[in-house]
Amino acid sequence: DAKTTQPTSMDCAEGRAANLPCNHSTISGNEYVYWYRQIHSQGPQYIIHGLKNNETNEMASLIITEDRKSSTLILPHATLRDTAVYYCIVRVAGNSDYKLSFGAGTTVTVRA
Amino acid sequence: GAGVSQTPSNKVTEKGKYVELRCDPISGHTALYWYRQSLGQGPEFLIYFQGTGAADDSGLPNDRFFAVRPEGSVSTLKIQRTERGDSAVYLCASSPGTENTEAFFGQGTRLTVV
């Protein structure tokens, strides 16, 4: 799987949008971008994933650049409960490879 | 329960002892994964089951580590002759096993080898 690069940490204000960047410049055409987060002392939680189109669900939006070399996870109205480590993961599509290659992620702290 | 259940939540063992960590996946999920997470790092893949068989065990660090899933549901991760370096949180996840679905993680078992 392609490697990803994320900032080590970022702060954001409660109630504001949080924009989390991720670079994946070596991504292949059959690789998806997945985002997971891990709140302290819990297991990772799936947020969203996409191939090339922008995606939105009840938790977040995923914006993927046209060349697919980078993406941004957007938490539209950050709350204190969104404080967590956020992982951007690139993974090959299909049944043959399900393992997730977590990096160090971005530690996001939402401040009141 | 509706989620992935791992027991025990905490385990303290002496160096050299044998331990078993249990994972109850979400009912009906055919895929099951084990990960290990050391302090300050992201989870690292250990092994992946599709049904009863280990489809990929490339992440197991050495032959002291072994995992089974005899009936395609509950899985047990077994560690022989534990070492202090085995101390970590062991995470289990399951998924429906179809293409591009999300993985659901348990809360993990914190293993401390003293």
Q: What is the pLDDT of residues B69-109, one digit of tens each?
A: 999 999 999 999 999 999 999 999 999 877 667 899 999 99
Q: What is the pLDDT of residues B32-71, one digit of tens each?
A: 999 999 999 999 999 999 999 998 999 999 999 999 999 9
Position B101 scores a pLDDT of 76
Phi, psi angle pair for B19, to nearest 5°: -135, 155
Distances from the Cα of A12 to the Cα of A9, A16, A72, A85, B98, angstroms = 10, 7, 15, 13, 36
Mention every residue, 6+ apart, whose C-beta is less than 8 A from residue B49. B31, B32, B33, B55, B67, B69, B72, B75
| Percentage of residues of chain B with pLDDT beyond 70 | 97
Q: How many CB pairs under 8 A join A and B?
A: 56
Which residues in chain A are closer than 8 Å to B45, comparing Cβ atoms? 99-101
Which residues in chain A are closer than 8 Å to B43, comparing Cβ atoms? 44, 100, 102
Position A95 scores a pLDDT of 53
